[in-house]
Every structure is written in C-alpha cells, then in structure tokens.
A and B are shown apart, each in its own frame.
Chain A
Amino acid sequence: MRMPDTSELLLQVEGVSLAFGGVKALRDVSFDIRKGEIRAIIGPNGAGKTSMLNVINGFYHPNHGAITFKGRTRAQMQPYEASRGGIARTFQNVALFKGMSALDNIMAGRTLKMRRGLLWQMLRYGPALAEEIEHRHRVEEIIDFLEIEAIRKVPVARLPYGLQKRVELGRALAMEPDLLLLDEPMAGMNLEEKEDMSRFIIDVNNHYGTTIALIEHDMAVVMDLSHRVAVLDHGVKIADGTPDEVKENQGVIDAYLGVAH
C-alpha cells in the first residue's frame, strides 16, 4: 500500500465542540488530516462522525474550537468557503439532484469552475458554448473513470442505489477537490459494489493525489483502505492512529463490543 509522501497538514481540527440544545454531538475533538492520505473516521452509531464532516465543510458551526484548513485558522467554516477552498463531499443518504440526469449532476459539480455570466449563457454562443464544451470534456473523463457511460442521460432518481452513489462520487470529483469527504460511501452495498467503490477510492487517491476523509462501518474496508484512523464514541475521540494501532486499542474494543460501565 502506498503511503502518503508528505506529512504536511491539510486540515487540522482543534478542540471542537458542537451541541444541539442539550445534546452534545462533539466534545472537544481534535484531529488532523495530512496531505495525500486516506483518513478514516469510525465509531458506533451516534458517535458524531457525520457531525464532524458537517463541521469541516461548514454546514454545522461548532460552539467551540478552531479549524485550520490550508494554513488558515478559523472558528467555523462557511459552506461556500469550504467548497471554494476545495472541500467536496458525498452524503450518507445520497443527496443527488433527483430531477436531473447523471450528466447534469456531475456538470453541476463544475459550477465553481465556470465563469461565463447570465447574458453569455442566454445566448449560448461563442465563449459560453466553448466553456460548456470544455467542461463537458472534463466531466466525460470522470464518467469514463467511474464507468457510468451508459447512464449519463438517465435521471438519477431512476438509477439503482449503487450507481447513485457512484454518480455522487462523480459530482464530488468534478469539483477537483483537494479534500474529499466521503460519508459511508459503501453503506447498503453488496460485496461486489464495495470492491468497485474501494477501487475508485484508491484510484482517486493515487492518480489525482486527492486527500480523502471517509466514514465507514465496514471494518475490513476501513482497515485496508486507510492510512490513519480516528475513533469517535459519544462525541469524544477515543483513539487515533494507524489501523493496526487502533485495532489493538482497548477503548475501541470496549466501545464497539460494549462494557459494563
């Protein structure tokens, strides 16, 4: 397995706490993501994993703590800043644009890269058309990469779950992100689909050098794919390290198997 070539930090989360009314989703969590690595966040249900991703891309604003992304520290991210800064995301329950085709979904991921204004688009001539075609080329590369050529014009609502997940990954890739957040990319998939998805994740990491943070429940997948694993339980980070270190950690075993407190 390829190790990340650098230990430079891409993202650092320090002492983040997040509460909804009385419910504490995250308590003083700190961890970092290095450039080029595949970083896993695991934990039992309700451990705060998705909340963590939501904090990273600005959908939730933490009550305390700081987030350092690409060397800039701030108390909270804004969704638009995060996406412009190169953070892309897939969702636990597929969040595709249901009324649009697979192609349009992925094209929508190019929004930030497209520059032509309303008037040019209205005429759809000259520079506007050229831009549209240029981005179509990039999107077709992604479609090839994900092997979804046959379904590009199908409205995504009609696609089976596994393919929807793939289109969603495509949409995130279309943003050419520096950091890709994957929220349970393999939930509800069969073995074969999981293998496909794992291959895509490794390829993305290898070929494009994209840093990836993923949440996953399948331990075999997590241990095989990731360079480092952080474990959350009840909003607290209870372990952090290489897959092997985490596997041996008594706290992690207790959290998963449950112990009498």
Chain B
Amino acid sequence: MLYREAGQFKTTYAEDMAIFPIRQDRMAIAILLGIAFIGVPLLADFDIWPFGSDYLLRAILLPFLILALAAIGVNILVGYCGQISLGSGAFMAIGAYSAYKLGTGVHIPLAWLGFAISIPPLPVLLAILLGGLTAASAGILFGVPSLRIKGLYLAVATLAAQFFFDWVFLRVSWFTNYAPSGSVNAPTLDFFGLNVGTPIERYLLCLIFVTVFAVLAKNLVRGNLGRQWMAIRDMDIAAELIGIRPLYAKLTAFAVSSFIIGVAGALWAFVYLGSWEPLAFSIDRSLQLLFMVIIGGLGSIMGAFVGAAFILILPILLNRIPSELGVPLSTETITHLEFIIFGSLICYLLIKEPHGFARLISLGKEKLRLWPFPY
C-alpha cells in the first residue's frame, strides 16, 4: 500500500494531536506491537529459529528493552530539556539498590533512639516502582545545582553523582545486606502471584514496562510540560520571560528522567542480571546511554529504541561478520573497533544529523510520501 495521507482529513484538534496522525503509521505500529506481544512469544513457543533459542531473548531482546527504557529517561533530560548528564548509570544503580533493599526488607537500627525502623519485604512490583521514586528524589537533589549552573558545568555535577554513588554502593555494605563479596541476588520475581522466571516471561514483563512508560513519556513530551522542557533547552532566558519557571521545568525533567532510569535500573538488576555488583552501573553505562540517545536521536522517544538497538547489535555484528568471513578478530580488537565506530558515528551524526537515526527515518518517510516525485 502506498504511504499517502491524502484523503485523511482531520476535523478535530484531538485528531490532529494524536501520536500517529497518519493512518499508515498507526497500522505499522499496531503490527509492530502485535509482533512484539504475540508473535515473539508464539515463535518462541513453537521453537522457531532464532526465537526458539534463549540467546535471542536473553542476550538481545531483554537488554534491548531495558536499555531502551533507560534511554527514554536519558533522552527526556538530555534531548528534551537540554541538561547534559553523565550520571545516568548512578541513577540506574539507585533504582536497582533501593528496589533491592525494599524487596528484601529494610532494617535501620537507630540505636541511640532505642528503636529501629523496619519495613517488611515489599512485593517486587512495588519495590521496582519505589526504586524508581527513590531515583527520582536523588535526581531532584542533583538537579538543584542545574538551576545555578548550566551546560558543561552540569556535566561535572552529574559526574559527581556518578562517582559518589559508585562509591556508596561499593563501600556502604548496608545496601548490599552485608554480602561479603559485594554482589547481591535479586529476590524472586513474583507479580501478583505469578512467578516470572523463563526468558519469555521476563521478556514480556519488560515489554509491558517499556510500552507503558514509552506511551506515558510520549504524552509528557508532547504536552505542556514537554514544551516547557524544550523551551528551556532551546532558549532558557526567553522561556523564563514568557512565564516558564526554570525551577519547575528542570526539576520535573530531572525527576521524570531519573524515575524512568531508576525503574530501568531495577529491571536491569532484577530481570536481566539476576545478581550484580556496583560495576554494572559504572560511568561506562552512563556514556553508553548517552550514546544511544545521540545515535538514536536527541529529543525523540522512538530514537531511544533505535539507539539501543544499534548499540547492542553492533558488537554482535563485529563479532560475527569477520569470523564468518574467515578473519576472526580478537576480543580486544573488537572492543577497540567498537570504540572507534561509536566515536566516529557520534561525531558524524552530530555534524550531519544532530537528531540521529530517528530523524533520518522521518526524512525517509517524507520522501516516501512524495514518491515517486522528488518534491
């Protein structure tokens, strides 16, 4: 079917403001969701290659979904609100460790007051969401400096968050329930009595989280709050003079972004890793998320998915293609090659297309709309 919007008239503003105003787009997204929610589980169930193997679900789709979720969070802060963050990894860690503490029971002995605060282990879903809320509060705390400092200075402030929390989760053994190795195990994943164990169950769980949060995030960025964030990003002084309060706009961006990142962190720890150490949330993770956002597209929810897919798939391709061609590369060379390719791609995209692959896709769609005419 041709990609045309002729004949699709919008008679209300509500229709004009829909997420996907063009019918063909709506159908494409419906098909995609259908495949994701029904197709993949069916294929896996019937053991059809490559869906039958755990590898695809466990090593590709699961991290893809969770990192895409985190990238949505990063994109809200960096892409929409223009506040650079090098500390996303720390906020994932905060989400993960607070969810862990809440999921295994909190005990704070206040010896000098003669009593202790005890919270029994919470259900996993609640623990994950509260983990997100904890990350959001930390985000607000570290967002406060953004009211006084801008741009590059803020990068250093977020680095402070990154290194400080790295240290906290490594050294303060209360957070790891005094595990001697510093490595902790996630509680069993029970959701309303259902145990989420198999790869396909884990995949569906993450898919639900990602879908819900992507829709909520999309709603936010195309609403009044989203406009405030973008106004702050594009010209903060003018924004202030038309009545946008930088305090409110920036802190909500920090809060929403950290909440999503925190939930992603909890999922990463509970659902993907199972057991983990602070190293899982180091500055490398922060940079990786930032790269996803730049590659996928600053200021685009879809871009988060594109970027996450790219960053996960490239190393696999680098691993497979040369060895298929008979020139296997050493692991080290692959890592270095990855570095070079990511770096070059970042520079290239920043120069040629600051809105990343997402923008290239929408340009392609525009071309397709006019096809076969150039304009």
Contact = CB atoms under 8 A, between A and B. Distances in A.
Interface of A: 57-59, 79-80, 82-84, 88-89, 91, 95-100, 104, 107-112, 114, 116, 118, 121-124, 128-129, 132-133, 136-137, 140, 171-172, 175
A99 B220 contact: no
B157 interface: no
What secondary structure prevails in chain A residues at the interface with B? helix
A129 B14 contact: yes
A59 B241 contact: yes
Nearest to A85: B243
Contact of A118 (B225, B241, B242): B225
19 contacts: A80-B243, A83-B240, A83-B242, A96-B238, A100-B227, A104-B230, A108-B230, A108-B244, A111-B231, A111-B243, A114-B224, A118-B225, A118-B252, A122-B219, A124-B223, A133-B13, A133-B17, A136-B17, A137-B13
Chain A CB within 10 Å, residue with most, of B234, B237, B239, B245 = B234
What secondary structure prevails in chain B residues at the interface with A? helix
User: What are the nearest 3 A-B pairs in CB distance?
Assistant: A83-B243, A97-B234, A95-B238
A186 to B, nearest CB: 19
B225 A108 contact: no
A88 to B, nearest CB: 7
B238 A128 contact: no
B228 interface: yes
A97 to B, nearest CB: 4
Interface string B206-240: 00000000001001101111011011011101111
Given A132-B223, A136-B13, A109 B242 contact: yes
Interface of B: 12-14, 17, 216, 219-220, 222-225, 227-228, 230-231, 233-235, 237-245, 252, 256, 299
Contact of B240 (A80, A129, A132): A80
A122 B244 contact: no
Contact of B241 (A57, A99, A104, A137): A57
A79 B224 contact: no
Given A99-B299, A111-B243, A132 B17 contact: yes
B219 A121 contact: yes
B101 to A, nearest CB: 26
Contacts of A171: 242
Nearest to B355: A99
Given A124-B223, A133-B17, A83 B241 contact: yes
